[in-house]
Structure 1
Amino acid sequence: MPQRTAQSEAYPLLYEQKRVVGLGEILWDCHPEGRQLGGAPANFAVMAARLGDHGILASRLGVDDAGKEAHDELACLPLDLNFLQTDTEHPTGLARVTYTRHAHSKASNPANPSYEILQPAAWDFLDFSPSWRSLAGAAHAVCFGTLAQRSPRSRKTIQQFLAATQPECLRVFDVNLRPPFFDASVVCDSLAHTTLLKMNHEEAPQLLTLLQAPARFASLPLQHAAHYLLDAFPALQLVCITLGSAGSLLVTRSDQHHHPGRHSRAIDTVGAGDAFTAALVHYYLDGAPLPTLNEAGNRWGAWVASQRGAIPPLDAATLSENAIAIAAAGF
């Protein structure tokens, strides 16, 4: 495997690193007050690296100013960029972000973001190169979603990547449904490879509808939806459903655990779900029990939501404080 690039953030390594890949889109989130680097796979890979994994971003940038700026910003993070492709024909990804607040929401609560994701973008043309094939075979975990599969080219590449992983690789499907960039075929093909499924409580009924699940599941508690998915897809080992301010639910074939959530003040929720996923994966690879997985995901998701931006600065003191608190939760 190639060596990771030089970084300005550095955290002490106390164990052998797992190779954890964020596969898919990278883009600039263009907010009313300015733009911030994002994209679920990129956010995930950065958080994985910060937690001590060998975080790897497998994506594609244009050779434009936005691409150069993105690369320069990523190079300041503890992230392997050796598998970041460049595209001479298509621009770096951009998304226009707007915010809406429900009428019943308090003014102090963060507004809900909505996205206009421009196309085409460089990440619509992911290439399953020989180096990516090698990476797939060496990965301990790979996280992917539906958005980067909106184009036939990238969808084929992502499916090839997943098929080239080792049987023991943790294949994490963080669905991140962004209309109109998904359909039943993409979801079914992705679930066929998936060992860990993560979605939010609003995506769960959409997923069941796409899969033509019996209508009764719409009125049943969410753990029933999780068991339906576990029964329908044999490779699936764990279903995670995030519940907003109500925490999260983890379900396996033999166990389940609900976390009530952490009620810290949220400032910006963009990227919080990706931090949750990265923490979940990090501790899952270490063999942690469900309560620890839930505590880790909720703690790191809440921390990102309390900061500005999907990839906020992280100091060693915060990293250590959260690690100690998660360990105290039972791992």
Structure 2
Amino acid sequence: MKILAFGEILFDVDVKNNVRKLGGAPMNFCSHLSKLGAEGFILSSVGRDSAGGEALDFADNFNVNKKYILPNELSTGVCNVTYNGSEPDYNLSIKGAYDNICVTDEMLEEMKEENFDVFYFGTLAQRSDVSKNSLLKVLENVNFRKVFCDLNLRQTYYSDEVLSFSLEKSDILKINRDEFAFLKEKGYCESIKNLCEKYNIEKILLTLDKDGAQLYDFSEDKTYFSMGVETEEVSSVGAGDSMCACFLYNYLNDKPLQLCLDRANIMGAFVVSREEAIPEYTDELIEKVK
């Protein structure tokens, strides 16, 4: 099972507690996939700085394949995180290396030979033309069984063009309840089913925070629900990324959709109960999610 993720590698800086951790949805996603037993590759860029070196070491530690992580002259990405109650707010105003993700013809040929099962992307790295064009090159030149989009809307770093493009390219879409409300408000859809019809999306994973998650499968015209798992909330950073990884891992292993959703929900609750976005897995968790 091989997955290629495209997008940002950055350090989350908890301003209040002065804590600095490597993050970025694609890196979190790939790290969880690798911990579950898949092969996770990431297409991104880091700076030629000490933070970039840390990021590459981090990828090694979590068995994330870094062959498509290219250094450039910009600084490694930074995201300042503050909290509105328990919910994180992300400040991404500083331009980072992930705003200059480049892909060569040689890399595209290598990607074709890898026979990836899934391609994963979001909207943040599309804020720059360079990275957006690289994303388009990959989607136009490399075949994948499925394309998975975690919309991950951040501040104002998206446009109607980016949103429409991302929805149109998605076989499986993950959104949270705020993003779904935004899409409805802006006229992109009237309902989850309508979103699938309009953009030819096969499945939509909708996360509902402490209330759990739901999955809509367009081919069956069926909605699956998974109730929230009671847990002590420590940090929600990375929980959605872990759910995406766990859902996809089980889906690619041909597990029933209800089980895929339930296991993803369990994984998300586990991550919420830990300080780290990629915590050590317990034996009990592994039994429940694999």
CA contact (8 A) 1:146 1:187 kept: yes
Structure 1 residue corresponding to 2:9, chosen from 13, 26, 37: 26
Q: CA deviation at 1:313?
A: 3.0
What is the SS of the residue equivalent to 1:288? coil
What is the SS of the residue equivalent to 1:203? helix
Q: Which amino acid aligns with 1:228?
A: N
My pick for the range that moved more, 32-41 or 134-143, is: 134-143
Q: Percent same amino acid among aligned pairs?
A: 29
Q: Which amino acid aligns with 2:287?
A: I
Structure 2 residue corresponding to 1:188, chosen from 164, 169, 176: 164
Q: Deviations over 1:253-280 (max 9, x none)?
A: 2122000021111211100100000001
Q: CA deviation at 1:74?
A: 2.3
CA contact (8 A) 2:246 2:289 kept: no
Structure 2 residue corresponding to 1:242, chosen from 172, 186, 207: 207
Q: CA deviation at 1:311?
A: 2.0
Greater strand share, 1 or 2? 2
Distance 1:243 1:326 in 2: 19
Distance 1:132 1:36, change over 3 A: same
Q: What is the match of residue 153 of structure 2?
A: 177
Q: What is the match of residue 78 of structure 1?
A: 63
Distance 2:124 2:186 in 1: 16
Unpaired stretches in structure 2, ≥5 consecutive residues: none
Distance 2:288 2:211 in 1: 20
Q: What is the match of residue 251 of structure 1?
A: 216
Structure 2 residue corresponding to 1:201, chosen from 163, 167, 177: 177
Q: What is the match of residue 61 of structure 1?
A: 46
Distance 2:188 2:107 in 1: 34
Structure 2 residue corresponding to 1:266, chosen from 233, 238, 247: 233
Q: TM-score, length-normalised on structure 2?
A: 0.93
CA contact (8 A) 1:276 1:298 kept: yes
Q: What is the match of residue 160 of structure 1?
A: 137
CA-based RMSD of the aligned residues comes to: 1.6
Structure 1 residue corresponding to 2:195, chosen from 211, 225, 229: 229
Structure 1 segments of 4+ aligned residues over 6 angstroms from their partners: none
Q: What is the match of residue 121 of structure 2?
A: 144
Q: Which amino acid aligns with 1:179?
A: Q
CA contact (8 A) 2:264 2:289 kept: no
Unpaired stretches in structure 1, ≥5 consecutive residues: 1-17, 102-110, 218-224
Superposed counterparts of 1:8-23, under 5 Å: 18-23=1-6
Distance 1:21 1:192 in 2: 19
Q: CA deviation at 1:211?
A: 4.6
What is the SS of the residue equivalent to 1:202? helix
